[in-house]
Structures are given as C-alpha cells and as structure tokens.
C-alpha cells in the first residue's frame, strides 16, 4: 500500500497514515499506522476508519513549521540536547523492552494471562538480548533526540526493518502473556501485527485469553481449526494472529476482543477475560504497582498504562527539588501503597500526562521519565504558539481534558460499575517476587471514591459536579443530561 501510493503519486516524500486488512474487516482492536511502523494503537481507531471506508490519508508537507518565537523555541531544544545523554538513557540503548529484567525482578512481568508475574524466559525476550542479536538500528520519530524505537531483521523468517521492531508491550503480550520465549518468533509475530495493522496489546491479550479457555476445555481443537492453543506455542500465536487479522475461523470471535468473546463463549470464560470497559489490560500489573489500579479503572478509554507515571517513580519524591516537585509532590510514596497519598500523586501526575496528550508531547521525552522539565515545556509551548500561559494554566488544560472525557462517557451511559478491575487483579499473583500480592477490593474502592472526590466527581454517580465544571470553566449544553 505504502509503496503503491508512492508509485502512483510519483513522490517518495509523501507521508501515509493508514489502516490495514484488520481495520477493513472490522477487527475491533484494529490500529492505525503512520509510515508502516509508527502506531496509533488501543481503542480500535483502525476499525473506525474501516467502518467509514477510509483506507489511508496521504499528505505531503511543503513548508517548515514556524515558531512564534524562533529563538526561544530553539533555545529549549538546545537546552534539551545539553541535558540529555543518549548513551545513559535505557530508552535509547535498549528500547522499551529494556525494562523486562527489572519487571521480572519485581515479580510483575505479566505471564500466562496475568496468572503469573515471573516468566522463565524473560531474558530471551528482553531489550538487552534484542540489542545483542536481531537489532539492526535504533529508529526514531521525526527529529527526536531520544530515538527509543527498534528496527530488527531476522532474514530466515523474512523479518525486515521496514516494519520497525517489537516494543515492550508487543513482546510481553505475544510473549510472556502467552508463555512464548522465542525472540525471533516474536519479531515475526510483531511484523504480522504491523502488516495487518493490529493493536499488539489486545491481540496478544485475546490470544492469551483463548489459551486459558483452551486449557479449561472451553475452546477445543475443533474450535481452533486444529491449532494446539497451548502456553508457549509460538506457531499457534502466529497462526492466531493471521486468523484475527483476516477475521477468519476463530479469528472472527477473537477479533471481537475478550469481553465480547467471553460473553459469546459463556461457561465461565469471563473469568479469563481481563479488560476494563472492554479494553484488554496492557502489560503492567496493578497488583505490583498499585496506582495503576486507578489508571486502569479510571482511564476514559478503558485499561490504559499511559494515564500517569507508574508507581516506582513516586518512591523518588523528595523535598530537595525533583522534576515533579512543582506539583507539590515531595513525600515519597511506596509502590504497593494505595492510600490517600497515592491517590493524590496519581491525580496530580495524571494531569501532567493529560497535558502531554493535549500538546502532543511524548511521555518518554518529558519529565519525569526524561530531561524536559515542566517549566521548560511551558516555555517551549509559549515560544511555539506565542501564548503566555503559566504552568498552573497548562495543568488545568490537562484536568479539563480529563473532565471532558468523563462527561462524554457519562453521556454515553458509563457509570462507576465500569470503573472496576477484572477479578484476577483481586487474586494473588501466582509466582515470582510478589507471589500472592493482590489489589484489596475494599482498599481499591476507597481509593476510587477519594479520587472521585478529588476530581470533583459525585462519589455515587461518578459524574463531574456542577461546581467542578464551573471551576474548570466547562459549560455543558442545556440539551445534555444534567
């Protein structure tokens, strides 16, 4: 498709945003891809394109972007380069999969559909092993100094760097979550996910769900077309990826996502369907990072690991000046804590992450994961736009965006019943360093209620109150339900 469009338009400098066969055929978690390897995953936006019969959007830039204050904008970029050292940044050196060994050590590497937190083949699928074996280049989004992306080649499996390389989420979802520890096979599966333009998290998660159903006899070989859907069977994961991408055979059912597939199967399959609001869980375990239980339950789009920084960062708060100090976060908060301090840390940092979404800022470049601190970001936005906003005003942008998304969901009929975790999160992790750790249901509900109250949402209905809407200067049209 990309090559065909370049030939048809006789222009190699076009940029193509497209969905793939999965989006055309209505797989509910189809994604959108930019230039074959930059993905807009989660929430099934590719299925929306497919439903609208929109295959691709092609653009060709002709003018450079111009900042209102060129010197100011350039000054911030120079500052970033001076304060950022690629050679010491694990995102650059090992990519997102460089965190696999520490997740394993912490006992929270999602394994066998979140039954376990420790995976015996963790090292084989890590970013460190990738760097030593199949990595051929460190890719990047346009002009990014961090360059966290991977490009891999496995000639014997026809895996080419044209489609980039696997991120952590993809390696864990198709890998440890399905019990697969073969990096080359995972690189092949990753390429298939790219070619069908599938969300790699949801695809791996729905295959892991199917594996557990198979283990319990809810799915059989006659359902799978003869495929042995057993943990660790890389060929089976590859075959299922094809079937889901093409929406053929059992892929029709699995392409509906775990929530709908479990409802269709019945016989207790719901117990193995790990999702929030119909979106499959990402590859981070809230039982070992308790703030994530709020992130997963409260994200407007269903389980999402990019709502706020993860808990280990909260352990590093102190009063001597740290990147999130301007928010008033100065007391360290333990990773397994789900008390009021954790709720506050999550609530405040969620606004930063929402601000990043609002200005198109990558979480791996901004603070606290990288060097661009909040004041510098504010200065940069002002230099580019010509505005004169303060950090306070910008954080309010993030809070307002979260509140507007909440209002949207309330209008669409979502209630606190949708702000819950799958039952497995309230059961103990099966093995590893945090064996037996769980999210206590009462503690979770108390934390959720406190969050509602902090956010100015009615604790019973979860709806933003009139007072909070007035404070955020949000007007609800009279026609909308009160």
Which residues here bind ligand SF4, judged by CB under 6 A? 140-141, 144, 146-149, 362, 364-365
Nearest approach, Cβ of residue 78 and ligand SF4 (Å): 17
CB 32, CB 46: distance < 8 Å: yes
Measured CA to CA in angstroms, residue 327 lies from 50, 348, 352, 473 at distances of: 42, 7, 9, 21
Nearer to ligand SF4, 182 or 363 (CB): 363
| Run of H or E residues at 465 | none
SS3 124: helix
Nearest approach, Cβ of residue 61 and ligand SF4 (Å): 18
d(CA 336, CA 447) in angstroms, rounded, equals 13
For 31-125, where are the E strands, in sequence order?
A: 32-34, 38-40, 56-59
Nearest approach, Cβ of residue 252 and ligand SF4 (Å): 33
Nearer to ligand SF4, 148 or 395 (CB): 148
Nearest approach, Cβ of residue 112 and ligand SF4 (Å): 29
Nearer to ligand SF4, 107 or 309 (CB): 309
Nearer to ligand SF4, 91 or 452 (CB): 91
Residues in the chain: 482
Residue 161: exposed, middle, or buried by beta-carbon count in 10 A (0-12, 13-18, 19+)?
A: middle
Nearer to ligand SF4, 96 or 111 (CB): 96
Nearest approach, Cβ of residue 365 and ligand SF4 (Å): 5
d(CA 441, CA 360) in angstroms, rounded, equals 35
Nearest approach, Cβ of residue 95 and ligand SF4 (Å): 9
Nearest approach, Cβ of residue 91 and ligand SF4 (Å): 6
Nearer to ligand SF4, 25 or 138 (CB): 138
What lies within 8 Å, CB to CB, of 322 at 6+ separation is 316, 368
What lies within 8 Å, CB to CB, of 103 at 6+ separation is 109, 122
Nearer to ligand SF4, 39 or 196 (CB): 39
């Amino acid at each position: 498709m990309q090559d065909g469009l370049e030939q048809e338009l006789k222009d190699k400098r076009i940029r193509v945003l497209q969905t793939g066969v999965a989006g055309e055929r209505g797989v509910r978690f189809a994604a959108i891809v930019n230039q074959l390897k930059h993905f807009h995953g989660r929430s099934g936006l590719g299925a929306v394109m497919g439903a609208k019969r929109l295959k691709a959007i092609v653009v060709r830039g002709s003018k450079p972007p111009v900042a209102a204050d060129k010197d100011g904008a350039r000054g911030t970029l120079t500052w970033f380069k001076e304060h950022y050292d690629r050679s010491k940044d694990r995102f650059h050196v090992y990519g997102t999969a460089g965190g696999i060994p520490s997740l394993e050590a912490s006992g929270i590497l999602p394994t066998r559909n979140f039954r376990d937190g420790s995976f015996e083949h963790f090292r084989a699928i890590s970013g460190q092993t990738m760097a030593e074996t199949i990595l051929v280049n460190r890719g990047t989004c346009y002009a990014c100094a961090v360059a966290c992306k991977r490009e891999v080649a496995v000639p014997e499996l026809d895996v080419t760097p044209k489609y980039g390389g696997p991120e952590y989420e993809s390696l864990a979802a198709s890998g440890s979550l399905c019990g697969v520890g073969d990096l080359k096979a995972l690189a092949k599966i990753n390429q298939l996910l790219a070619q069908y333009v599938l969300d790699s998290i949801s695809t791996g998660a729905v295959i892991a769900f199917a594996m557990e159903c198979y283990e319990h006899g809810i799915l059989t070989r006659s359902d799978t077309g003869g495929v042995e859907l057993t943990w660790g069977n890389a060929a089976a994961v590859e075959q299922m990826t094809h079937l889901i991408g093409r929406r053929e055979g059992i892929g029709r059912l699995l392409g509906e996502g775990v929530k709908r597939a479990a409802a269709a199967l019945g016989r207790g399959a719901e117990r193995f369907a790990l999702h929030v609001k119909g979106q499959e869980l990402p590859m981070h375990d809230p039982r070992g990072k308790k703030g994530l239980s709020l992130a997963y339950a409260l994200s407007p789009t269903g389980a999402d690991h990019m709502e706020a920084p993860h808990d280990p960062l909260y352990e590093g708060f102190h009063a001597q000046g740290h990147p999130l100090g301007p928010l008033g976060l100065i007391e360290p908060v333990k990773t397994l804590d789900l008390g009021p301090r954790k709720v506050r840390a999550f609530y405040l940092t969620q606004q930063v992450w929402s601000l990043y979404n609002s200005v198109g800022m990558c979480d791996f470049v901004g603070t606290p994961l990288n060097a661009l601190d909040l004041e510098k970001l504010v200065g940069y936005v002002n230099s580019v736009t010509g505005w004169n906003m303060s950090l306070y005003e910008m954080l309010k942008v993030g809070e307002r965006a979260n509140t507007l998304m909440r209002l949207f969901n309330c209008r669409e009929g979502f209630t606190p019943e949708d702000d819950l975790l799958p039952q497995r999160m309230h059961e103990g992790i099966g093995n590893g360093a945090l064996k037996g750790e769980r999210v206590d249901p009462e503690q979770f509900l108390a934390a959720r209620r406190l969050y509602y109250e902090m956010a100015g949402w009615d604790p019973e209905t979860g709806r933003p109150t009139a007072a909070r809407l007035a404070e955020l200067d949000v007007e609800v049209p009279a026609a909308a339900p009160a």
